[in-house]
Amino acid sequence: MNRDNLGQNRLTGESINVLVTVDANYIKPLKVLLFSLQQNNRQQAFDIWLLHAGITDEALSALANFVAQLGFTLHVIKVDMTLWDAAPTFKQYPPEMYFRLLCGAYLPATLKRVIYLDPDILVINPIKPLYDLPLTTHMMAAASHMGLTGITQTINHVRLGTKQAYFNSGVMLMDLDKMRARIHLTDILDVITKRGKELILPDQDILNFLYGEEILPLPEEIWNYDTRDNIVHFAKSLGEVDMQWVIKNTVILHFCGRPKPWEKGGMNRYAVLYQHYEQLLYHAFGD
């Protein structure tokens, strides 16, 4: 694969804005995500918006060079973490996980719409239909991982005192103007102060607790396919949603939980596909 040709033959239509929030440990998975995005959206322009707290200038320069070779444009915004000192963080949930909640405040006011993507994702089909989705009165669109019986949803309703579906925050279409008007740091910090010890997935719990009723549901098997649940999807669809269906119809594969497909032992059904993209990336760019 010739890296010089990766970003060529692009259309000149409206660019899709994609938001990512990572620390230095997730730069390599981020590159796999962006590579998969480019490989399966070859005639689509993208602006990649990176919110970070402490990635080095050297690493950012290398990432910008990589993104440019994909034919994308990278915008880097460093977030002041002083206001987030009270937020609960854990090894597997770094401070960057909160940035998506207030991204409207960090991103330029001229930016109206963005797709947020976690770094543990492959994009395997065109993503523009999601970007063009009408949100009507909703502030965001996201998917719920319902499982086979929905018992996890019931547990989250009891735990958080909510009634709507519990949405996964790893893939979200965002109306930034609505978010700027509705989402405030004081509200988020108030939940953290009062209920911080109860938060299992802190930013996702806050998203659902404060804003769940303003989220448009997306079909998970297309827009946020939890790769741990392939048997669940197969059973719920009476055998329709098999691997062939996924390759043809699913847009976003989300490698939720542990181990990740780039880690030793990360061998769920779709880990081999992830490792295939890693290998293609290696042949195109090296380490």
Domain positions in the chain: 3-285
Q: Order of strands, edge to edge, in the sheet holding 16-21?
A: 73-78, 46-52, 16-21, 113-117, 171-175, 140-143, 215-218
- How far are the Cα atoms of 52, 111, 137, 188 from residue 165, in angstroms, in the given order? 29, 28, 17, 20
Q: Per-residue pLDDT for the chain (287 aa), expressed as one digit of tens each?
A: 455 456 554 555 799 999 999 999 999 999 999 999 999 999 999 999 999 999 999 999 999 999 999 999 999 999 988 877 767 676 656 677 788 999 999 999 999 999 999 999 999 999 999 999 999 999 999 999 865 444 465 555 545 566 668 899 999 999 999 999 999 988 988 887 777 677 777 788 889 989 999 999 999 999 999 999 888 888 888 889 999 999 999 999 999 988 999 998 766 889 999 999 999 999 999 87
What's the pLDDT score for residue 160? 56
3-state secondary structure 238-263: CCCCCHHHHHHHCCEEECCCCCCCCC
Q: Cα separation of 207 and 204, whole Å?
A: 5
Closest CA to 26 of 62, 55, 57: 55
Tell me the CATH number of domain 3-285, given options 3.40.50.1970, 3.90.550.10, 3.40.50.2300, 3.40.50.620: 3.90.550.10
Q: Which of 100, 228, 111 is nearest to 170 (CA)?
A: 100
Cβ burial of 119 (10 Å; 0-12, 13-18, 19+) is buried
Task: State residue 81's pLDDT score.
Answer: 84
Q: DSSP character for 84?
A: G
Q: What token pair was written down for 122?
A: 């492959």
CB atoms within 10 A of CB 109: 10
On whether the CB atoms of residues 95 and 55 are closer than 8 A, the answer is: no
**CA 271 → CA 181, 256, 284, distances in Å?**
40, 12, 20
Residues 27/55, Cβ–Cβ less than 8 Å: yes
